[in-house]
């Protein structure tokens, strides 16, 4: 996904206006009102977006936790064999340095000082189990119920975080994501993650608090003074473990100290994220992904 400017400038596209509009509304009540109205519009056109199967008991707990705390632990979403398939597929695939996307390399030849690097979108889409997971009924139901309407799959990433002793900045410092009026991310660890390997960290309940007009970072000390150390939660887990998060709440990916971390990120939102420029790819695989949910990434291939 190409990323547009994060502030209006020469070359600004009118289609980007909704992205800047939602960033300017920082009050939680106002954001909820607009999100609710948008969800009602989507429901009117596309329905509630709930796969037909009846929700299991775990899903009710996930939804309650997501509403109350801003996150929900989803347990094991992929088994060891599935994780091994992912690693085998990605072994020799190119990565792009997150700080300098023009610089590409394979994981085994990463230049010194690289903090984070992403796999190319075409490799993410072709990677075993990714599209199945993104379209798993239980996860689509969770997204639809949290959003209040049929979800839009609006981000897909496979990201490596490299170990180092630098201070956390950018995505590795506390921040809010400002992608849409309402959205939820799913994170799946694809390596074992303990305190030394860069866990995802979130401040419980801050998805319900007032944001800031400009994107900014918060230091650990600022977060603890404002919200209390007891609300700062690190998520540890084995490869395959999943987490749902409303990342409008304060969060970060901690800097790994000891070993690499690989994480899959899936995002569902009310609308497309207008900061991105999407180019849907033809899909000829065995799945039957919902065309509305997946429209930003996949289009039905022409019959041959």
3: in domain: no
Q: pLDDT of 101-143, one tens digit each?
A: 999 999 999 999 999 999 999 999 999 999 999 999 999 999 9
Residue 2 lies in a domain: no
Banded model confidence at residue 54, pLDDT cuts 50, 70, 90: low
The single-letter DSSP state of residue 153 is: E
Any domain includes 243: yes
101 within a domain of the structure (yes/no): yes
Whether residue 1 is contained in a domain is answered as no
Out of 15-29, 146-160, 285-299, pick the least confident: 15-29
Report pLDDT for 15. 61
In a domain, 149, yes or no: yes
Strand partners, 161: 116, 261
Predicted pLDDT at 5: 42
The total of structural domains in the chain comes to 1
Quote the domain boundaries for residue 51. Answer: 16-298
Q: Across 1-139, where does the E strand assignment appear?
A: 2-3, 71-76, 94-97, 104-106, 116-119
Q: Are strands 251-253 and 200-203 parallel, antiparallel or unpaired?
A: antiparallel
Query: Stretch 164-174: mean pLDDT, rounded?
Result: 92
For residue 123, CA distances in Å to 108, 156, 225, 302 come to: 17, 11, 42, 21
Picking from 5, 159, 155, the residue whose alpha carbon sits closest to that of residue 96 is 159
* Max intra-chain CA distance, the chain: 61
Tell me, what DSSP letter sits at residue 83?
A: H
Beta strands 116-119; 152-161: pairing state:
antiparallel
Query: Domain for residue 4, yes or no?
Result: no
**Weakest-pLDDT range from 56-60, 245-249, 256-260:** 56-60
Where does the chain show beta strands of DSSP type E? 2-3, 71-76, 94-97, 104-106, 116-119, 152-161, 183-189, 200-203, 232-235, 241-245, 251-253, 261-269, 276-277, 281-283, 298-300
HSE, side-chain direction, 13 A CA sphere, residue 95? 24
CA distance 199 to 52: 34
Q: Which CATH number goes with the domain that contains 57?
A: 2.60.120.620
Instruction: Provide the percentage of residues in the chain whose pLDDT is more than 90.
Output: 81
Higher pLDDT, 48 or 240: 240
Q: Rounded CA gap, 271 and 15, in Å?
A: 12
Confirm whether 6 is domain-assigned. no
């Amino acid at each position: 996904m190409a990323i547009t400017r994060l502030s209006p400038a020469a070359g600004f596209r009118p289609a980007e206006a909704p992205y800047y509009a939602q960033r300017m509304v920082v009050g939680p009540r106002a954001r909820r009102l607009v999100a609710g109205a948008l969800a009602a519009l989507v429901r009117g056109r596309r329905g509630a977006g709930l796969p037909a199967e009846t929700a299991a008991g775990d899903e009710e707990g996930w939804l309650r936790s997501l509403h109350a705390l801003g996150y929900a632990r989803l347990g094991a979403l992929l088994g060891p064999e599935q994780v091994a398939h992912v690693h085998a597929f990605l072994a020799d695939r190119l990565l792009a340095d997150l700080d300098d996307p023009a610089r590409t390399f394979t994981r085994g030849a990463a230049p010194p000082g690289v903090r984070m690097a992403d796999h190319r979108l075409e490799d993410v889409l072709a990677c075993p189990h990714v599209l199945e997971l993104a379209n798993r009924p239980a996860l689509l139901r969770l997204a639809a119920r949290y959003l209040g309407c049929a979800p839009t799959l609006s981000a897909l990433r496979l990201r490596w975080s490299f170990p180092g002793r630098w201070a956390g900045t950018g995505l590795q410092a506390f921040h809010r994501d400002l992608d849409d009026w309402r959205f939820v991310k799913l994170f799946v660890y694809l390596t074992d993650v303990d305190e030394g390997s860069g866990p995802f960290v979130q401040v419980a309940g801050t998805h319900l608090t007032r944001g800031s007009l400009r994107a900014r970072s918060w230091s650990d000390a600022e977060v603890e003074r404002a919200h209390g150390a007891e609300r700062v939660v690190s998520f540890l887990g084995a490869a395959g473990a999943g987490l749902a998060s409303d990342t409008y709440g304060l969060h970060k990916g901690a800097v790994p100290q000891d070993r690499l971390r690989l994480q899959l990120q899936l995002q569902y939102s009310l609308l497309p994220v207008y900061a991105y420029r999407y180019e849907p790819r033809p899909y000829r695989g065995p799945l039957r992904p919902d065309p509305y949910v997946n429209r930003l990434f996949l289009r039905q291939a022409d019959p041959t």
